[in-house]
């Protein structure tokens, strides 16, 4: 039987982690789990319940609401990808808006939120054969992952990718607004008290600033082949 792997992909926001992870999962016929989408779903729930807003966040309210949150990933055969469902509602589009983006970092810093999400992520990965991307997958969720990758790219390139992605989805936003949001997100992710963005000591750095998705796939194919061959 072919060895099934846990592949952990960490890195900065808007580096193309999700696109990369989805492509790997599709190539290997693995399950793809977008850990960031899970935190975005909690943030969306919190915004709807008025536990978060421009005024700040109600930590006690968010913690109390965790018991009422169910997050699932359902495969959409038409789009050939997994979509995020919050309490049986497809929220894949809504969790990507700028309001959720503006609050997700603060919500994801709450210890109880991270504890519950990590618990769910480990349950999903118990049978291996998964690709998961986020910011603490290789350091916290799966410290024993078979392959750990840390992705990075320049701020301008990440902002442009995010801008193009939102534009394609019909979401109107200014480029400079996205750039400021990414810079603020980097600072928050690197300096948060709980599970800050860190590169695992045994993670392989992938700077994809000047790499196409195809070039990245050739790179990971070689890495996976070496791992399966035990080298």
Query: Strand order of the sheet with strand 31-34?
Result: 31-34, 130-134, 6-11, 147-152, 204-207
35-55: average pLDDT: 94
Q: Give the pLDDT of residue 193.
A: 76
Question: What would the DSSP string read from start to end of the chain?
Answer: -PPP-EEEEEE-TTSSHHHHHHHHHHHHTPEEEEHHHHHHHHHHHHHHTTSEETTEE-HHHHHHHGGG--EEEEEETTTTEEEEEETTEE-TTGGGSHHHHHHHHHHHT-HHHHHHHHHHHHHHGGG--EEEEESSIIIII-TT-SEEEEEE--HHHHHHHHHHHHHHTT----HHHHHHHHHHHHHHHHH-SSS-----TTPEEEE-TT--HHHHHHHHHHHHHHHHTT-
Share of residues in the chain with pLDDT > 70 (%): 99
Q: How many helices (H) and strands (E) does the chain have?
A: 8, 10
Q: Give the pLDDT of residue 79.
A: 86
Q: Give the pLDDT of residue 48.
A: 97
57-82: average pLDDT: 90
- Per residue in 158-204, pLDDT (tens digit) is 999 889 888 888 888 899 999 999 999 888 888 877 777 888 999 99
| Domain spanning 7-222: CATH superfamily | P-loop containing nucleotide triphosphate hydrolases (3.40.50.300)
Q: Give the pLDDT of residue 185.
A: 87
Q: Give the pLDDT of residue 33.
A: 87
| pLDDT reading at 231 higher than 70 | no
- Per residue in 88-143, pLDDT (tens digit) is 999 999 999 989 999 998 898 899 999 999 988 888 788 888 999 988 899 999 99
- Per residue in 79-94, pLDDT (tens digit) is 888 889 999 999 999 9
């Amino acid at each position: 039987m072919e060895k099934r792997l846990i592949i952990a992909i960490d890195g900065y926001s808007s580096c193309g982690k999700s696109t990369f992870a989805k492509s790997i999962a599709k190539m290997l016929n693995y399950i793809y789990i977008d850990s960031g989408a899970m935190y975005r779903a909690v943030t969306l729930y919190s915004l709807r319940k008025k536990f978060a807003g421009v005024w700040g966040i109600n930590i006690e309210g968010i913690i109390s609401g965790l018991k009422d949150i169910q997050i699932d990933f359902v495969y959409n055969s038409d789009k050939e990808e997994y979509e995020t469902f919050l309490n049986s509602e497809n929220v894949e589009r809504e969790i990507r808006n700028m309001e959720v983006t503006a609050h997700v970092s603060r919500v994801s810093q709450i210890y109880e939120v991270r504890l519950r999400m990590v618990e769910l992520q480990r349950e999903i990965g118990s049978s291996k054969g998964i690709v998961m991307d986020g910011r603490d997958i290789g350091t916290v969720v799966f410290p024993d992952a078979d392959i750990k990758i840390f992705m990075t790219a320049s701020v301008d390139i990440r902002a442009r990718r995010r801008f193009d992605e939102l534009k394609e989805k019909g979401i109107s936003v200014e480029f400079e607004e996205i750039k400021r949001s990414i810079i603020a997100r980097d600072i928050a992710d690197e300096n948060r008290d709980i599970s800050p963005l860190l590169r695992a000591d045994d993670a392989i750095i992938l700077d994809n600033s000047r790499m196409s998705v195809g070039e990245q796939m050739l790179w990971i194919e070689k890495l996976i082949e070496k791992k399966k061959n035990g080298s």
